[in-house]
Amino acid sequence: MKVIAVANQKGGCAKTTTVVNLAAGLALRDFSVLVIDLDSQANATNWLAGSVSTPGSWQMLTTREDLASLIVPSSVSGVSLLAGSRELANLEKALAGELSVETLLKRRLAKLGKEAFDYVLIDTPPTLGLITLNALSAAQQLLIPLTTHVMSLSGVAQMFRTVDQVREVLNPDLNILGLVASRVDLRTRHAKDVLSTLSERFGDKLLKSYVYENVRLAEAPSFQQSILTYNPLSTAAQNYRDLADEVVALTSSFN
C-alpha cells in the first residue's frame, strides 16, 4: 500500500483537484485507491460522493470503530472514500490530553493491513496544523501541488522546512514524490518564469506532468465525476492520465 499525502499550506493550489483526478487516473490503470479526505471543507468528499452520512475520517481519528466499516464507495469506479466532514475543524480540541496525536492516522491505517489498497491518497486542509502533520506522519510520499505564481515559491520553501521537521521527529522515511505544477497558463510570461525557477531550484522533483488551466476541471465536481469521465478528450484529462503514469513509475519501488 503506497500512501501519498497531497499537501501545501497555501489555499486553492489544486490539492483536492489533484487528489480526485489522480485517484481516478490510478483507478483507470486498475489500481485500487482509497481517498482519505482530512479537510473539514470536505471538497473531495462532495466531489466523489455528494453528501455522505458517515463522517469516516472524523470517526477514524476519534473512535475505535472498525476502519473498514467507515470506508464508503465513491462515484468513481475503483476509488473508495473515508469522508471528510465539518467536525474535523475541531480535531485538536477533541484530542486534547491524548498522547502522540500526530501519529494517530498512521496507527489507525496500520490496522487496515498492507494489502487493503494499492494507493491511499490523503487530501489535507490549507494549514500546517495537526491534521496535515498526521498526513505527513502516515505517508511514505508527499505530493505538493502548486500554482505557477511567484507567491507559490515561498509557500513551497515553508513546506520543505516542515518536511525536514517531520522527518526528524515523526517520520524519517517521508519522501518528497514531487511538485506538480497546476493551473499552468503558458500564455503568460510569468508562468514560464516561475516554471523555470522551480526547475532550477528543485530539479527533477518538479514533475514532468504539468496540469494546464482548464475550465472543465472546475466544472467536473458539480457532476460528481473525475475529469477522466466528465471530459475524457480534454487536455486536462490527458494531463491527469500522464500524472498518474508518472506517479506509478516513481512509486514502483516503494511498498
Binding site for ligand ATP (CB under 6 A): 11-17, 39, 41, 43, 126, 182-183, 211, 213-215, 217-218
Residue with CB nearest Mg ion?
16
Q: Which of these ranges, 43-51, 85-93, 223-231, 234-242, lies near Mg ion under the rule CB under 5 A? A: 43-51
Task: Confirm or reject binding of residue 225 to Mg ion (CB under 5 A).
Answer: no
Three-state SS string across 90-151, please? HHHHHCCCCCCHHHHHHHHHHCCCCCCCCEEEEECCCCCCHHHHHHHHHCCEEEEEEECCHH
Task: Confirm or reject binding of residue 8 to Mg ion (CB under 5 A).
Answer: no
CA distance 11 to 235: 24
Task: Confirm or reject binding of residue 10 to Mg ion (CB under 5 A).
Answer: no
Nearer to ligand ATP, 209 or 214 (CB): 214
Q: Which of these ranges, 11-19, 51-59, 147-155, 193-201, lies near Mg ion under the rule CB under 5 A? A: 11-19
Nearer to ligand ATP, 103 or 242 (CB): 242
Q: Pick what 169 binds: Mg ion, ligand ATP, none; C-beta below 5 to 8 Å, kind-dependent.
A: none
- Minimum Å distance from CB 118 to ligand ATP? 23
CA distance 119 to 58: 20
Nearer to Mg ion, 9 or 103 (CB): 9
Among residues 163, 162, 144, 164, the alpha carbon closest in space to that of 152 is found at 144
Task: Confirm or reject binding of residue 15 to Mg ion (CB under 5 A).
Answer: yes
Residues that bind Mg ion (CB under 5 A): 15-16, 43
